[in-house]
Amino acid sequence: MVSQDLLEILRCPACVREKDGLLTLHRDAWLICQDCGRKYPIVDEIPVMLIEEGDKWANTAVDDLPVPPPSK
């Protein structure tokens, strides 16, 4: 599980310069940007905060996100 301290400082790398880029934790497996809707997987308790990774899941409905996220 990602620590609460880390969750408080993480921001969406695509939004942080122009917006808040706040992230919400979904099922202890995904971080979802409240501004753009990108979804970042948490793999082996490490958030994968690459914009390209968030783009892959941007159009996937929250309820359709796989838990646990695929490792590749």
pLDDT number for residue 66: 96
Check residue 1 and give its pLDDT. 76
pLDDT value, residue 3: 86
19-58 as b/e: b if 16+ CB within 10 A: eebbbebeeebbbbbebbebbbbbeeeebebeeebbeebe
SS3 state at 4: helix
pLDDT for the residue 69 = 95
pLDDT at 64: 97
What's the pTM? 0.92
* CATH code assigned at 30: 2.20.25
Tens of pLDDT, residue by residue over 51-65, are 999 999 999 999 999
Weakly modelled stretches of the chain, pLDDT under 70: 72
Instruction: Give the count of domains, the chain.
Output: 1
Residue 72 placed within a domain: no
Report if residue 71 sits inside a domain: no
Residue 32 belongs to a domain = yes
